[in-house]
Amino acid sequence: MRLRKLVKHFEFLSNNRDKITLDDYTRLNEDENRAQLKEILFEIEEYPTDDDLHLKTWVAQPQSVQQWLGFEVEATHFEVDGQVATSLGFRLSDGVDEYWWDGGNWVVNTTDWNTEVEVAGNISNFPAIAKKLQVIVNLKTTNKYVTPYLRDIKVLYSSNIEFKEDLLYRTLIPLLRDNVRPIADYPIELTSDTDTLDLANDFPLETPYNIVGIDSAYNHTDDPNHNTDIYQSYDPGTNVVTLSQVVSAGKVVWLRFYWEPEVAVTTSRDYTEIQKVPSLVLDDVNLVNATEYGPDDYVVNKSTGEAVIVPAPIRGDLEIMANLITDKGVDQTRLADEMKRFFANNPLITSTGLDEEYRLWLLDEYDMRTSANLGDLHTGRLRFSIVGALFYMRDSIDTYAVKEFKSTNDSNLVIRRS
């Protein structure tokens, strides 16, 4: 298995405010992009000295993780009169339970705290089977006039990600399948009095729709304006629709339902992945506007001095052509309208493998071919892009770092940055 080393950041930035859980005495300083204790007397910046004040990061879930490898905290601590006054403690969570390293194992625990060194030295033993990680942080001061400042938590992990496949197959296609829901009409002339419609046997659909839900049903004969909805329930296992009243033979029930288009990717001129009708076929996938993004990243074990440098990724836009294929003109129009609605809501896409969020942009408006082709298929297309996608192309580097740096001023206050 080909593995890469990548870094997940828990940064205490203002735009992450909604994802961070704070208790009554911790806060996010949005001006300084850091977490700290909350002032209990704001005018003189006096802080609480309780033992168990804490916050929780969001739950990161990069599904490509194979093992958690490293842990580093970027924080500022203070000494007063030669004594260390601030500290941070940590527990890890898999999104369900909180764990503490007891010296031999990670055990469920919600009362004790590990040091950064203890977490860094043993995070490789924290199970990655759940593919989830959350950090619970205890902020502590023994002097009411100072607070620790927490800016970033970095977690090194090994990943088996292949970037384009991750964005297309594991991320984009499931997103489209779950969110693109065109509606279709199906008028049914009844041959007997009934309050059920068996769509699998008695009234099979001409087009092989993947029905995901029923919108409404009407007695079209008696209620041509569709004022009274008589839909009651739908069993997707049997494809049976139950109505709230019996409709007589010879009358027409007008059924409206939601369907899920087949989403496929054209992989070559000769092969298309399970192309069905109606469908969305993605092709002509190209990386554009690619540049190196930011400085190299790194994670340092402050106890051993061992470090891993992760070279800066390539950042670019992944442009994709979406072809809309239906066997009915009305389905083509409604599928196009549904795609426009999807992009009009400024959708975000979260990479399944990296757990990084990107925006989808519609580049070229929908272009429809108004008449069916020789195969009696109606087609249209639009182009969109995944904006600012990250691609880590260079191998990580194992190295060593300076273990400690101290800066002392002329007063009795010493600032240590870690």
pLDDT digits (tens, 9 = 90+) for 159-178: 999 999 999 999 999 999 99
CA distance 231 to 245: 9
Given this model, what pLDDT does residue 355 score? 96
Given this model, what pLDDT does residue 367 score? 77
137-146, 250-259, 287-296, 364-373: lowest mean pLDDT where?
364-373
Q: Which two tokens stand for residue 295?
A: 């400085």
Given this model, what pLDDT does residue 371 score? 59
Supply angle C-alpha 112, 118, 121, rounded to 5.
145
3-state secondary structure of 72: strand
Given this model, what pLDDT does residue 404 score? 55
8 Å CB contact between 360 and 388: no
Tell me the helices (H) and strands (E) count for the chain, helix number first. 4, 29
Given this model, what pLDDT does residue 417 score? 45
Q: Which two tokens stand for residue 21?
A: 């859980």
CA distance 403 to 261: 56
CA distance 397 to 310: 7
Q: Which two tokens stand for residue 13?
A: 């930035």
User: Across residues 260-267, what is the average pLDDT?
Assistant: 84
Given this model, what pLDDT does residue 332 score? 92
The letter for the amino acid at 130 is A
In the predicted structure, residue 270 carries a pLDDT above the cut 50:
no
Q: Which two tokens stand for residue 235?
A: 């069993």
Tell me the Ramachandran region of residue 89: left when phi exceeds 0, alpha when psi lies from -120 to 50, beta otherwise. beta
The two beta strands, 86-93 and 134-141, are antiparallel
The letter for the amino acid at 96 is V
Comparing 42 with 63, the larger pLDDT belongs to: 63
Given this model, what pLDDT does residue 402 score? 62
CA distance 126 to 183: 46
8 Å CB contact between 95 and 59: yes
Q: Which two tokens stand for residue 370?
A: 């108004």
8 Å CB contact between 258 and 211: yes
Q: CB-side exposure of 347: number of CA atoms within 13 Å?
A: 21
8 Å CB contact between 20 and 57: yes
DSSP bridge partners of 98? 93
Given this model, what pLDDT does residue 265 score? 86
8 Å CB contact between 401 and 307: yes
3-state helix, strand, coil in the chain (%, to 5): 10, 50, 40
pLDDT band at 273 (very low <50, low <70, confident <90, very high): very low
Given this model, what pLDDT does residue 375 score? 60
**Please, what is the average pLDDT of the chain?**
91
3-state secondary structure of 164: helix
Comparing 302 with 404, the larger pLDDT belongs to: 302
Cα 12 to chain centroid distance, Å, stands at: 18
DSSP bridge partners of 59? none
CA distance 371 to 125: 61
Given this model, what pLDDT does residue 365 score? 82
